[in-house]
Structure 1
Amino acid sequence: MSRLGLTQLDAVLAIARRGSFRAAALDLGLSTTALSNLIARLEAEVGVRLFNRTTRSVSLTDAGRTFVEKVGPALDDIHAAMDTVRSQQDVPSGTLRINAFATAARQIMAPLILEFLRRHPQVHVDLVTEGRIVDIVAEGFDLGLRRADLVPSDMIAVPVGPPERHAVVAAPSYFRTRERPRVPPDLLAHDCIRVRLPNGALYRWPFEKDGQAVHIDAEGPITLDEASLARLAVLEGVGIGFFMEADIREDLAAGRLERVLDDWTPPTAPISLYYPGRRNPSAALRTFLDLARTLGRTGAPLRRRGEAG
């Protein structure tokens, strides 16, 4: 094993966890070809095949399963030892992997992530945005970013902004010929931009007023799975859309979109970074969390270096 290193071992565990060379390669920041070559070298070294591979699936062989069972705990100990050493660094360095949903990522990009990189140029941030909620430990992330009410109970949460709101909007041109909805059920007589969730289900628009909760199965001419595409459709007057307020705030201010049912969209839980409890977080993670807590306390963009206090 002297010619092999942690990268090869991490690769085996990533493929076993994800069940796919392509997905594991993305997690590891490698090309699929490079990952295949790493595994081929490892299999040549140990003298057995670790994976059964077809064009459609990847699974562990019996030898591979034994390998993962033996190597996994030892590799956890090695990474824990490395984290202990990194925690003693004076200068933050290395890579921080963050999993987030797109709207939240956009909100913290400038005030937190880019500001952190300006202050700590030796750190690389790997930000992955997706709608599904993942197990950040199992999938190799240092941090997750979700609404506070979606953070797993066994994680430590750090709020990084004020409570958020939804917004129901349409282009002024849409309302020239259509009566504005006054209560959520009125939406059933309108063209709405339908939203498909990562699990394939259609999103039911949630509303609440005076303790009364209502969910509407909005119907309309198009179904989309990405907020930026839904925004384009609404701007073109196709129908009414349901967004996080942060995604269309500038459109509202500029008059490109008009809001309805404002009194039915109360604030929701704030977005929060979350992470597993660690005795020895790396200097990069510790410093990033310190900056995040500052952002959470102020609720306003952090000053850049050189700006007046």
Structure 2
Amino acid sequence: MDLFERVDLADLRLFTTIVRRQSFKSAAIELGVTPSAASHAMRRLESRLGAKLLNRTSRAVAPTDLGVELASRLTEGFDVIGAALHSLNVPGAARFGELRINAFADAAHLLIAPALPEFARICPDVRITVVVEDRPIDIVAEGYDAGFRYGHNVPEDMVALALSGPQRWVVAGSPAYLEAQGTPNSINDLAQHNCLQLLLGDNSAYKWELSDGTRNIRLRVPGSITINDTATTIKAAKAGLGLAYLLEARIADEIRDGDLKVVLADHASPGEPFHVYYDSRRHGHPGLRSLVNIIRHQNGLTRVFDEHGPVAHLSAPTGQ
């Protein structure tokens, strides 16, 4: 009996999950086993391989150098298996494994949430995890299959694909606020208004970007309220607490219902399309292909994947 026949495939999957999650408990919860069973499985795997794969302490678990190399190769292998099953139209292949996505809040609201019902219908067995956060992260190091960001935020050396058309950033306020404080007619008028401050994921303050007709200019605006969440900013603006700088698509319903009104429309700032991106060294997750096709279709774009893989060129950003 050779080494491969003596190693349980489930143990290998568990091992890669422990390395990705950096926790026996988290990996066990994800895979539906007990922490003690996960620990026993790893001891069994190390015994059969005759090598130490994990360094364990009372507070943390980390792979050895050999463990890092093995986890990387196994992850690539599982991706290849999923792609192979999908390409052969094996029943359930499109639902292979878990799909983990990290997304900016606006992308989650505008793209992922509307796509989930259709995704659940065509991929009913996939375990999809969507983590919504606006901080910049390394999706590979933190164990995600893909990230959703604006085009200029996509890291280099990643496979990237647009999921929407260009976006537009606008200044908006509630009718009550504009009636009480007046409507700004120029960029300079913003100095006389209370502007809701935007805090980025890295805890830096964001300067509003507006167009002067020929170029975008960045400016600091006055304001006593700072928020790092779009939904809360929208609520504050609707409550008449100040002017807000928002993605126009994000407040389409509020504009339609009259809860918010765009001001300085001629100075709106053009923005990059939303993009999905993943590690160029890995095969795209079959479930991710389905999700991408759904989102692009819902946003008036063509499909880019069929059962055999890409049907359109996927680009790798080069420092947009």
Residue 70 of structure 2 is matched in structure 1 by: 71
Aligned to 1:223: 226
Structure 1 6/184 Cα, relative in aligned 2: closer, same or farther at 3 Å? farther
Q: Quote the Cα distance in structure 2 between the aligned partners of 1:282 and 1:69.
A: 21
Aligned counterparts of 1:257 and 1:173: Cα–Cα separation in 2: 9
The one-letter amino acid paired with 2:57 is N
- 1:103 match: 106
Q: Which one of the candidate residues 212, 216, 223 is aligned to 1:213?
A: 216
Structure 1 segment 222-261 matched on structure 2, within 5 A: 222-261=225-264
C-alpha distance in 1, partners of 2:235/2:110? 19
- After superposition, give the CA deviation of every residue in 1:142-171 in whole Å (9 maximum; x if it has no partner): 222111222233223322222111121111
Q: 1:138 deviation in Å? A: 2.7
CA distance 1:70–1:105, change in 2 (3 Å): closer
Counterpart AA for 2:12? L
Amino acid of the residue matched to residue 52 of structure 1? Answer: T
The answer (yes or no) to whether the contact 1:204–1:215 under 8 Å persists in 2 is yes
Change (3 A) 1:102 1:191: same
1:36 CA drift (Å)? 5.3
Cα distance, 1:220 vs. partner?
A: 2.0
Q: CA deviation at 1:83?
A: 3.1
- Structure 2 letter corresponding to 1:139: E
- Residues 187, 41 of structure 1: CA spacing in aligned structure 2 closer, same or farther, 3 A cutoff? farther
Out of 92, 95, 102, which is 1:93 matched to?
95
Task: Give the aligned residue type for 2:20.
Answer: A
How far apart are the structure 1 equivalents of 2:237 and 2:300?
Answer: 34
CA distance in 2, matches of 1:108, 1:154: 24
Q: d(CA) in 2 for partners of 1:297 and 1:250?
A: 19
Which SS does the other structure have where 1:146 is aligned?
Answer: strand
**1:122 corresponds to 2:125:** yes
8 Å CA contact 1:205–1:218 kept in 2: the answer is yes
Q: Is the 8 A contact 1:103 1:246 kept in 2?
A: no
One-letter code aligned to 2:82? D
Superposed CA deviations along residues 53-90 of structure 1, whole A, max 9, x for unmatched, are 45xxx474xxx534434533442353244334333341
Aligned to 2:161: 158
Aligned length: 286
Describe the SS at the equivalent of 1:87: helix
Q: In terms of mean alpha carbon deviation, does 189-198 or 216-225 score higher?
A: 216-225
Partner of 1:185: 188
5+ long unaligned stretches in structure 1: 300-309
Task: Tell me the distance in 2 between the aligned counterparts of 1:153 and 1:67.
Answer: 27
Offset at residue 109 of structure 1 (A)? 3.4
Secondary structure class of the residue paired with 2:142: coil
| CA 1:114–1:38: 2 relative to 1, 3 Å | same
TM superposition score normalised by structure 2: 0.75
**Bigger shift: residues 115-124 or 240-249:** 115-124
Counterpart check, 1:13 vs 2:19: yes
Query: In structure 1, the residue corresponding to 2:167 is in which secondary structure?
Result: coil
The 2-side partners of 1:67 and 1:189 are apart by 61
- 1:190·1:239 contact (CA, 8 Å) conserved in 2? yes
Query: 2:18 and 2:113 mapped to 1: Cα distance?
Result: 35
How has the CA–CA distance of structure 1 residues 126 and 263 changed in structure 2, closer, same or farther, with 3 Å as cutoff?
Answer: same
Give the TM-score of the pair, scaled to structure 1. Answer: 0.77
Deviation at 1:111, TM superposition (A): 4.8
Distance in 2 separating the partners of 1:38 and 1:132: 34
Partner of 1:263: 266
Look up the SS of the partner of 1:181 in the other structure: coil
CA separation in 1, counterparts of 2:105 and 2:121?
22
The CA RMSD measured in Å over matched residues stands at 3.3
Contact 2:136 2:202 in 1 (8 A): no
Q: Distance in 2 between matches of 1:298 and 1:67?
A: 44
Amino acid at match of 1:181: P
Whole-Å separation in 2 of the counterparts to 1:130 and 1:166 = 20
Tell me, yes or no, if structure 1 residue 52 matches structure 2 residue 57.
yes
Residues 89 and 128 from structure 1, CA distance in 2 versus in 1: closer, same or farther, beyond 3 angstroms?
A: farther
Provide the secondary structure at the position in 2 that maps to 1:201: coil
Partner of 1:306: none
Q: Evaluate the alpha carbon distance shift between residue 110 and residue 59 of structure 1 in structure 2; reply closer, same or farther with a 3 A threshold.
A: closer
